[in-house]
Chain A
């Protein structure tokens, strides 16, 4: 079982729809969670990071963490064609000696159709 599972999609939605993107993980030591957006041929761009279980909102984006279920989500409200990109979840455990790496999901490719 991979440490982080993410449905690669592709996911296609009409403009204005609410988008739900999800990752599951197996390592209960993961405590920090991030979402990145990656446009084609570009580097990942940090959208949000969270530490605790619950919701965190930033504009049209809401990140949700459920540590008991080992499940994280990113919701995009009022989706726009400019949101079309690949969305990557990333996570890491509480800092331990010698470990500074993020573990990424494979990414979900999203297309928002005008």
Chain B
């Protein structure tokens, strides 16, 4: 029973390029959450999605960042025109229902983005 799968594990992008981070939730989970962990900082919420819907994007930067969770396939976090400040670990979590936020999610191993 595979857990939350994120790929790639490591991603290097030059400034100005696009970064695409993928997240496949656990089997049977239809709720996905993205968090960012900057160096020496705690995890910060970015966005919560259900299939084909963005439910809460209050933590997403207004520009360059977008997220989707299509009917088929993984959830994608997309960062356009990356800058050095985007270098961080990006974690995806999933839960079977929206109540996962009360009882804890299951996190993936993360994608570590380095912008050079």
Q: Name the interface size band of chain B.
A: 20 to 34
Residues of B within 8 A of A (CB): 4, 6, 33, 35, 40-45, 48, 55-56, 58-59, 91, 98, 101-110, 112
Known: A43-B91, A107-B42. A100 touches B109 (CB 8 A): no
A contacts, CB < 8 Å to B: 4, 6, 8, 32, 34, 36, 41-46, 49, 51, 88, 90, 92, 95, 98-107
A43 touches B107 (CB 8 A): yes
Compute the total of residue contacts between A and B using a CB distance below 8 Å: 74
- Give 3 closest A-B pairs by Cβ, nearest first: A101-B45, A43-B107, A46-B104
Of the candidates B44, B56, B103, B105, the one whose C-beta lies within 8 Å of that of A98 is B56
Say yes or no: B43 contacts A88, CB within 8 Å: yes
Complex Cα gap A80–B6 (Å): 29
A6 nearest in chain B by CB position = B42
Q: Which residue of B lies closest to A46 (CB)?
A: B104
